[in-house]
Amino acid sequence: MKSTLRLVATFFLFHILLCSTPSPAYAAGGGGQWQLLQKSIGIVSMHMQLLSNDRVVIYDRTDFGRSNLSLPNGRCRENPAELAVQVDCTAHSVEYDVASNTFRALFVHTDVWCSSGAVAPDGRLIQTGGFNDGDRAVRIYEPCHNCDWEEVGSVLGASRWYATNHILPDGRQIIMGGRLEFNYEFYPKTAAAKQVYTLPFLAQTTEQQGVENNLYPFVFLNVDGNLFIFANNRSILFDYNNNRVVREYPVIPGGDPRTYPSTGSAVLLPFKNLQAPNVEAEVLLCGGAPRGAFQNAIGTRSFVGALNTCGRLKITDPNPQWVMENMPGPRVMGDMLLLPNGNVLILNGGAVGTAGWELGRNPVMNPFLYRPNNPIKSRFELQNPNRIPRMYHSTAILLRDGRVLVGGSNPHFGYSFSNVLFPTELSLEAFSPSYLDARFASVRPKIVAPKSPSELKYAQKLKVQFLVTGSVVSDLVSVTMFAPPFNTHSFSMSQRILVVGTGNVANLGKSTYEIEVTTPGSGILAPPGYYLLFVVHQEIPSEGIWVHLI
Ligand SMILES: *[C@@H]1O[C@H](CO)[C@@H](O)[C@H](O)[C@H]1NC(C)=O
Ligand SMILES: *[C@@H]1O[C@H](CO)[C@@H](O)[C@H](O)[C@H]1NC(C)=O
């Protein structure tokens, strides 16, 4: 009787609490749909890159043990330097074909674990570093029908394990940091460039070994040609040509670390008004784990709540200050993706713990949508949840059709499918943001010209023609160009989106419209390479077309 009363009382109290809670600053139960694409691709999607043939290169690590996918034709990888299985007849990389929802095994020889990469201007994925015999290796993957990895050799000047790459205006890529490496280098190598350049900022922001809190630094190419680099709780603007720190930004409020293993994520918000004399650049950084989270987790096995804050910093401002915002909830190991309409999707990860083996808890199943142009406190919208936890070693990337490909999760030292918290995930899912809902069919643009793929030059006038079956609000039409990033460990390297034109839409009749845009003026705004071009109408994007800006 007593316990029943207590139950009833608790129930009423719960109700009162619920009803008296002020309505949250975000709409609950927003939208979006989840779809399971593949129950198993045989490997963990730990690293992902979309290529210009709509195929995604995925890999995990050669020293995970035997994967669930055999190499074709009885092929085996014999590598005496390998730490796990010296004769391994299983694959550790796949190519996923978006259109047919199929995949095939790829062959990678040296260890690619916790490596990095960027797509070269010609569309080839240049992947650098890793672990063990692969820590100085460069490997190339060309997007063609039946291609496979090509090992260039051990050509890097330093060990690149947990480094960040970024594509540069001249088409080279910079490779920044890595474990115990307080330096950077470039690839391809040129006679003029040194093998390695030191960067004391990386030494200053590192903590004890294993808890560096500055690995996989967030690197962005700013509109002035310098690099914005965020590591731990600090950030600088860096002139990589002259190895000179141009300015130091304020420490992020709260002072908590945001980079690995206190893994948050970050994006460069869309570039707008590209014809203006001074284009503005703004960074948004969300989540992470508070100082001491990793030590607590490995020491006393106590798992602390992740950070629920985002910081927004106008990096081009003469007197930049972080503006802090609250997410709908805490998140560590989240991925931040730019969507074709310039909104930001935050997904994957957990609400408790940190990155690292067995150190994450409380998966966050609901993505958060962030609308950067809304007034502060009304920017977040909770999205529909999936059912598969995507913890440490999970990934997410935007596809050409506007869906988000989600894979991975393996917080264990090898493949581990039973009797563990968060078993190894070999599945692939797609998240369809609500802009793909059928109810927007009459608003959605369909690009009819130019054809995909198209070659574009810098500062070129380009007429984009599209169909819309309903009525068109000219001012609410824009054209965006998106650089597909290399994603691993919650960071999307070289990710950027540019609004290349807005409004002034001409009606050509028969539901066909035309907007004239100007491509970006320089490789500083948009490094050369393949972009996805979208027409966006009332926040609803078309399917993208591939354009090659060179
Ligand atoms: C992978 O293979 C193991 C056996 O080798 C099996 O127990 C496990 O269920 C497989 N996992 C998936 C997701 O296919
Ligand atoms: C920033 O991080 C360092 C650790 O690298 C720490 O010592 C410092 O106190 C932090 N700054 C603030 C303002 O909390």
**Which stretches of 384-528 are assigned E, i.e. beta strand?**
394-398, 404-408, 428-432, 446-449, 454-456, 461-467, 477-483, 486-488, 491-493, 496-502, 506-509, 512-518
For the chain, residues classed under CATH 2.130.10.80 are: 2-436
Q: Which tokens hold the place of 396?
A: 């997410």
Contact in structure between 434 and 403 (CB atoms under 8 Å): no
Ligand 1 centroid to Cα of residue 151, in Å, is 29
User: Consecutive sets of 10 residues in the chain, 550 residues long: mean pLDDT of each?
Assistant: 39 37 41 97 98 98 97 97 96 98 98 98 98 98 95 98 98 98 98 95 95 98 98 98 98 98 98 95 98 96 97 98 98 98 98 98 98 97 96 98 98 97 98 97 98 98 98 98 98 98 97 98 98 98 98
2-436: in CATH 2.130.10.80: yes
Nearest CA to ligand 1 atom 10: 68
Of the candidates 411, 437, 316, the one whose C-alpha atom is nearest the C-alpha of residue 357 is 411
One-letter identity of residue 160: R
pLDDT at res. 210: 87
233 lines ligand 2 (CB under 6 A): yes
Q: How many angstroms from the chain centroid is the CA of residue 450? A: 28
Which of 291, 295, 309, 322, when mutated, tests ligand 2's pocket best, judged by the most ligand atoms within 8 Å of its CB?
291
> Of ligand 2's atoms, which has the minimum distance to the CA of residue 233?
1
Q: How many angstroms from the chain centroid is the CA of residue 221? A: 15
What 8-state DSSP symbol labels residue 71? Answer: P
Q: Which tokens hold the place of 387?
A: 């059912």
24 lines ligand 2 (CB under 6 A): no
**Beta-strand pair 164-167/173-176:** antiparallel
Contact in structure between 139 and 154 (CB atoms under 8 Å): no
pLDDT at res. 19: 35
Rg (CA), the chain: 23
pLDDT at res. 451: 98
Contact in structure between 82 and 89 (CB atoms under 8 Å): no
Four-residue CA torsion sign, 16, 21, 27, 29: negative
232 lines ligand 2 (CB under 6 A): yes
One-letter identity of residue 310: C
Q: Which tokens hold the place of 39?
A: 């129950």
Ligand 1 centroid to Cα of residue 39, in Å, is 11
**Predicted TM-score of the model (pTM):** 0.94
What 8-state DSSP symbol labels residue 533? Answer: E
Of the candidates 442, 460, 436, 493, the one whose C-alpha atom is nearest the C-alpha of residue 216 is 493
Mapped onto helix, strand or coil, the DSSP state of residue 62 is helix
Q: Alpha-carbon distance 368 to 335, whole Å? A: 10
Of the candidates 289, 284, 290, the one whose C-alpha atom is nearest the C-alpha of residue 376 is 284
Q: Which tokens hold the place of 510?
A: 């028969």
pLDDT at res. 209: 87
The DSSP line for 26-45 is SBTT---EEEEEES--SS--
Out of 2.60.40.790, 3.40.640.10, 2.60.40.10, 3.30.420.40, select the CATH number for domain 440-549.
2.60.40.10
In sequence order, the 6+-apart residues with CB closer than 8 A to the CB of 497 are: 270, 271, 338, 340, 342, 480, 481, 482, 483
Q: What residues does ligand 1 touch, defined as CB less than 6 Å away?
A: 40, 68, 417, 426
Count CB neighbours of 522 within 10 A.
13
Ligand 1 centroid to Cα of residue 77, in Å, is 21
For the chain, residues classed under CATH 2.60.40.10 are: 440-549
Which ligand approaches the C-alpha of residue 250 most closely? 2
207 lines ligand 2 (CB under 6 A): yes
Residue in the structure block whose two tokens are 């609950």: 28
Which of 39, 64, 68, 94, when mutated, tests ligand 1's pocket best, judged by the most ligand atoms within 8 Å of its CB?
68
